[in-house]
């Protein structure tokens, strides 16, 4: 994995990241557009973390910290590059970021139906929190 580069995304990466998610991410989000990702990177420049090989993206994770909680989103690895430690490297970078910012516990958004992701998250030490349920309300029409 010495050829793996982990870094924060910049505004120049946004179109590439959006195209990457269409290939590698499971499901879609209301924020999966240039405006949404641009806002993320402008507000919290270190939150969107990329893994690259040969200058091409092979993985992403969003490590958002609101000053109180550490939230993980969009952990995605290209299918041909899975099970090579890329997800683990991304999570390690995210967790290091959280600790540096004063975070105490990370939580992850994981699709219920994505059994493959469940195995990866468990292997990384994360467990489902069955007593909580996510409630959502779209704020745009």
Is-contact 114 75, C-beta < 8 A?
no
Strand ranges, E, within the chain: 4-8, 48-53, 56-65, 70-77, 106-108
The set of residues, in sequence order, having a beta carbon less than 8 Å from that of 87 and lying 6+ positions away, is 59, 61, 75, 77, 120, 124
CA 59 – CA 86 distance, rounded (Å): 7
Task: Please report, in tens digits, the pLDDT of each residue of the chain (141 residues total).
Answer: 579 999 999 999 999 999 999 988 876 677 778 898 999 999 999 999 999 999 999 999 999 999 999 999 999 999 999 999 999 999 999 999 999 999 999 999 888 888 888 988 899 899 988 888 888 877 876
User: Are 93 and 5 contacting, i.e. CB atoms less than 8 angstroms apart?
Assistant: no
Cβ–Cβ under 8 Å, residues 111 and 27: yes
Alpha-carbon span 81 to 87, nearest angstrom: 10
Q: Evaluate whether 41 touches 9 at the Cβ level (below 8 Å).
A: yes
With contact defined as beta carbons under 8 Å apart, do 41 and 48 qualify?
A: yes
The token duo for 115 is 């059994």
Quick one: tokens of 55?
Answer: 């200058």
DSSP class of residue 113? T
Q: What are phi and psi of 113, to 5 degrees?
A: -80, -10
Residue 107: what pLDDT? 92
3-state secondary structure of 72: strand
């Amino acid at each position: 994995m010495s050829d793996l580069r982990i870094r924060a995304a910049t505004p120049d990466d946004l179109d590439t990241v959006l195209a990457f998610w269409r290939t590698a991410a499971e499901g879609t989000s209301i924020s999966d557009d240039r405006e949404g990702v641009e806002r993320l990177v402008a507000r919290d420049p270190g939150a969107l973390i990329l893994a690259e090989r040969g200058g091409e993206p092979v993985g992403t994770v969003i490590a958002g910290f609101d000053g109180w909680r550490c939230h993980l989103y969009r952990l995605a690895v290209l299918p041909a590059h899975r099970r090579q430690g890329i997800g683990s490297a991304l999570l390690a970078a995210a967790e290091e970021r959280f600790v540096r910012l004063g975070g105490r516990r990370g939580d992850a958004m994981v699709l219920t139906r994505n059994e493959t992701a469940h195995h990866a998250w468990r292997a990384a030490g994360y467990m489902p929190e069955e007593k909580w349920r996510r409630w959502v309300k779209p704020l745009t029409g």
